[in-house]
């Protein structure tokens, strides 16, 4: 009598989990939305917007000791047209606020914002006429990183939280897209 061998594979920490994906053998079933969210979350390109001392901690996050590239975010961009995550690091003055908004508007959709440090999140110790009391008064902020200045570990944790938020987000459905015709089509008779 031949022996029947069954193998049971449990999930270990080195196997990635893809949201609500169903696994079975060599077949993976998912929807396009989950797949796009996975791709977006694991390939974030941050825009450097360092305004004060928090920018030094932001730069050290990409260095070899902390290695932000493990999470797919090592490509810091200097142009808003190639970035999808804005890292606001430091105090935002009222003179810099219109520039911050303009750069945010130049970023392509979908875009996210991480406010890094006490000054960017709430004005910090600068409670005066020249400093904006929170970057959320200018742009919508997705993740706040506390600290003065926050450690690179805290920024990495914030990026992981943003990745979780992106993976859970609901994108617009393809059924919601509609074709809008400005002029009705006219059919012409063609004789053969």
Tens of pLDDT along 143-162? 999 888 888 888 889 998 99
Q: Has residue 141 got a pLDDT over 90?
A: yes
What is the reported pLDDT for 113? 93
The torsion angles phi and psi of 89, rounded to 5 degrees, stand at: -120, 100
Residues 6+ apart with CB under 8 A from 190: none
Mean pLDDT rounded to a whole number for the chain = 79
Q: What is the pLDDT of residues 2-49, one digit of tens each?
A: 666 555 555 555 555 666 555 555 666 777 788 888 888 888 888 887
Q: What whole-number percentage of the chain has pLDDT above 70?
A: 75
Per domain, the residue ranges of the chain are: 45-166
What is the rounded distance in angstroms from the CA atom of residue 170 to the CA atom of residue 31? 12
What is the reported pLDDT for 101? 92
Higher per-residue confidence, 29 vs 163: 163
Collapse the DSSP code of 104 into the 3-class scheme (helix H, G, I; strand E, B; otherwise coil) and give the result: helix
Give, as one character, the DSSP assignment of residue 14. T
Enumerate the β-bridge partners of residue 47: 77, 86
Q: Has residue 180 got a pLDDT over 70?
A: no
Model pTM score:
0.71
**Strands 22-24 and 27-29, how do they pair?**
antiparallel
Q: Are 83 and 107 in contact (CB under 8 A)?
A: yes
The CATH architecture to which 45-166 belongs is 3-Layer(aba) Sandwich (3.40)
What is the rounded distance in angstroms from the CA atom of residue 58 to the CA atom of residue 66? 11
Residues 6+ apart with CB under 8 A from 173: 33
């Amino acid at each position: 009598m031949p022996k029947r061998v069954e193998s049971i594979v449990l999930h270990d920490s080195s196997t990635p989990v893809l949201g609500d994906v169903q696994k079975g053998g060599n077949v993976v079933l998912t929807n396009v939305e989950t797949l796009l969210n996975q791709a977006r979350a694991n390939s974030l390109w941050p825009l450097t917007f360092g305004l004060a001392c928090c920018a030094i901690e932001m730069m050290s996050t990409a260095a070899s000791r902390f290695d932000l590239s493990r999470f797919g975010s090592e490509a810091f961009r200097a142009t808003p047209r190639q970035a999808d995550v804005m890292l606001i690091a430091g105090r935002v003055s009222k003179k810099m606020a219109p520039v911050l908004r303009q750069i945010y508007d130049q970023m392509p959709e979908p875009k996210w914002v991480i406010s890094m440090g006490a000054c960017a999140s709430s004005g910090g110790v600068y409670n005066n006429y020249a400093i904006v009391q929170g970057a959320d008064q200018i742009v919508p902020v997705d993740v706040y990183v506390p600290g003065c200045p926050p450690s690179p570990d805290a920024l990495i944790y914030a990026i992981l939280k943003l990745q979780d938020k992106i993976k859970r987000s609901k994108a617009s459905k393809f059924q919601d897209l509609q074709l809008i015709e400005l002029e009705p089509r006219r059919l012409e008779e063609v004789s053969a």
